[in-house]
Structure 1
Amino acid sequence: MPARPIRLPSLDALLAFEAVARAGSFEAAAAELALSASAVAKRVAGLEERLDQPLFLRQPPRGLSLTPAGHEYLPQVRQALALLQAMPLHQRSGPQRERLRVSSTPTFARQLLVPALPGFGAAQPHIELELTLSVPLLAEGDAGADVEIRHGAVPDGIAPEQVLLRDRLTPLAAPALLAGHGPLREPADLLALPLLRTPLQPWAPWLRAAGLADTPEPDEGPRFVDLGLTLAAALAGQGVALARLSLARHELAEGRLVQPFALAVPAERHYGLVTHRPSPAAEAFAAWLHGHCRALENSSGAA
């Protein structure tokens, strides 16, 4: 009788299976592997097809659980991966590092990107990331950047598939500022307070949704050409900022800013990621950043 053909799966598929089994979801495994959740799911599905065996039970909303075949297969896969990792040729010191230059708008970099970079570094230790800042309103970017985080309209500034965050806007203020005024019972009461202004985010969308469409844009006080500076002014008690929930999530959680009204409206401008020089490092960063931003949307209610 002819020998049965050996059905060897790919190493990427085995790594994806082991990560999902350990993390408990495609999303958590994707963050660890610096891939998209759909890419991890496809690798696992391809492995199941090759083995002609389901390895996970998909039971929303409870998530994933191993099938009997998955339980039997998992220790075998872990043993095989451990053997591969123990081989001396796989433990060469000083792996070549790939440099990736990322240009970002200042507030996105400070509020969202930099705090999360340790996670990217742990997942992609061979990538040396260099971060530079751009000025959105002046269209001054980094000509040498491999990837660029932009702030603009869709689809004029960034393509829909490049969008990182679809934010919601709401007024935010320091507790001390609100304590010095009467109670805010309805949106019109907000007009008694100084409204901070920035050309990057006019008040019109929120005022319109609040039934105050006839209210003109604020024309007094400093004009901040940076969303982070607007937040800083709000934190200092200088006025009320129309802010993005994703950018102010830490300040809200710590009570340094408060949300006087539940009304929040979709932002008309979004953050997007544009790749100028495609490479494996750029692809890995893009997958990680999109996953990070999806997690932010889910946790902060930005979308």
Structure 2
Amino acid sequence: MRVPLPPLPGVQAFEAAARLGSFAAAAEELHLSAATVSQRIRSLETHLGVPLFERHARSVELTELGRAYLPAVRESLDDLAAATGGLFAPARREQLTVRTQVSYATTWLAPHLHLFQAEHPDIDLRVVSAVWSEALTLGEVDLDIHQGRGAWPNAHAELLHHDSAVVVHGPGHLDRWGPVTEVADLFARPRIQVLGFDDVWQRMSHDGGPVGPGGRAGPAITVDTTVTALELAAGGDASAVVPERFARTAVRAGRVSLALPQAFPMRQAHYLLRPLEAPRSSPRARVFLEWLTHLDEHQPALG
């Protein structure tokens, strides 16, 4: 069973008087009379059954139990103030919620978001993906960015980025298999395909694959995100087809390399989705979209 809590007005008066060294100073800080502060502390002492202060003619001094009690009181009041301010204080900054796929957030937004924050320090960003996105109501999402072919029910779809695909591999691929001289080489070796992008491999096969020793294709592994494909390619001996935009940071960091110099067209692109009943973006969303467009124009493609 929980021990009955002490009266909060008395706890607050006790902490202020202990910190400031007098009932009068505590009264001034709390906008109370000194008599009221004294009364509240008396009430707390009655509740606890022990004196917390030794009262002298011109000063007060904490008792031994008062000194022992003070740290816990301060910590509790600090925690309460922090929780109250965090949850209920009036918002002084704008918050922008962007919902998108994990790969877009990780490989495209994450390396550049510090630039947006530097330009717009008054906007707090919240980027959500599959883990939390379904828990958000429509009104909680400012921008909804999806990759697909442009047709979503009950939504306006505005083209945001055209996408192309590239083939990448890590150092382990070169160590085991050597350089790629033609498309057919890729099908003779281990490869990684991302769900939804596997049609790129199929179209590449018409240009020289699948072939391999004895006319057999090499093994393939299928994953559901570009992030996973890039990690597998960087740490293994397989090549991966990924959206060119998503590969830029990893290629320029030297974690993976382009297996072929050319890019391949993709049937998917990135779209900005808006509900039919709310076709206009908020002002903060338009600021982010302008920044995103500027970023796209000033980040050169691989090749």
Where does 1:185-204 land on structure 2 (aligned, <5 Å)? 185-202=181-198, 203-204=201-202
1:207 paired residue number? 205
Contact 2:97 2:142 in 1 (8 A): yes
1:113 to 109, 118, 134: 109
Q: Is the 8 A contact 1:132 1:142 kept in 2?
A: no
Aligned to 1:283: 286
RMSD: 3.1
**Conserved 8 A contact 2:187-2:209:** no
CA distance in 1, matches of 2:247, 2:302: 12
Structure 2 match to 1:263: 262
1:245-260 alignment, distance < 5 Å: 245-260=244-259
Identity score, percent: 25
Partner of 1:235: 234
Q: Structure 2: give runs of 5+ residues left out of the alignment.
A: 1-89
- Relative to structure 2, which stretch is displaced further, 229-238 or 181-190? 181-190
Worse-matched range after superposition: 222-231 or 174-183: 174-183
Output the TM-score relative to the length of structure 1: 0.57
CA contact (8 A) 2:184 2:211 kept: no
* Counterpart residue number, 1:292: 295
Following superposition, the deviation at residue 221 of structure 1 comes to 4.9
Query: By how many angstroms is 1:122 displaced?
Result: 2.4
Q: Is the 8 A contact 1:170 1:245 kept in 2?
A: yes
Q: Distance in 2 between matches of 1:258 and 1:141?
A: 38
For residue 197 of structure 1, give the secondary structure of its aligned residue in structure 2. strand
Tell me the matched-pair count: 200
Q: Which runs of 5+ in 1 are unaligned?
A: 1-93
In structure 2, what is the Cα distance between the partners aligned to 1:200 and 1:243? 10
> 2:188 touches 2:218 (CA, 8 Å); kept in 1?
no
Change (3 A) 1:291 1:95: same
1:44-74 Cα distance to aligned partner (Å, 9 max, x none): xxxxxxxxxxxxxxxxxxxxxxxxxxxxxxx
Residue identity matched to 1:289 = L
Contact 2:144-2:274 at 8 Å conserved across structures: yes
Relative contact order (C-alpha < 8 Å, sep 6+): which is higher?
A: 1
Q: State the 1:95 CA deviation.
A: 9.2
Structure-2 residue corresponding to 1:97: 93
Aligned to 1:15: none
Alpha carbons 1:133, 1:142 under 8 Å: kept: no
Q: 1:182 to 1:283 in 2, by over 3 A?
A: closer
Cα distance in 2, alignment partners of residues 141 and 214 from structure 1:
46
Letter matched to residue 300 of structure 1? A
Larger radius of gyration: 2
Secondary structure of the residue that 1:151 maps to in structure 2?
Answer: strand
SS of the counterpart of 2:246? coil
Query: Which residue type is aligned with residue 269 of structure 1?
Result: Q
Aligned equivalents of 2:274, 2:290: Cα separation in 1 = 12
Deviations 1:192-229 (A, max 9, x none): 21111221211123333x344899xx895542111111
CA contact (8 A) 1:171 1:241 kept: yes
1:137-176 alignment, distance < 5 Å: 142-143=136-137, 144-155=140-151, 162-176=158-172
Residues 212-270 of structure 1: per-residue CA shift (max 9 Å, x gap): 4899xx89554211111111111111411002222111222233212222232112111
Q: CA distance change for structure 1 residues 165 and 206 in 2, over 3 Å: closer, same or farther? A: farther
Q: Which moved more, 1:120-129 or 1:282-291?
A: 120-129
- Contact preservation (8 Å) 2:192, 2:241: yes
* 8 Å CA contact retained: 1:153, 1:268: yes
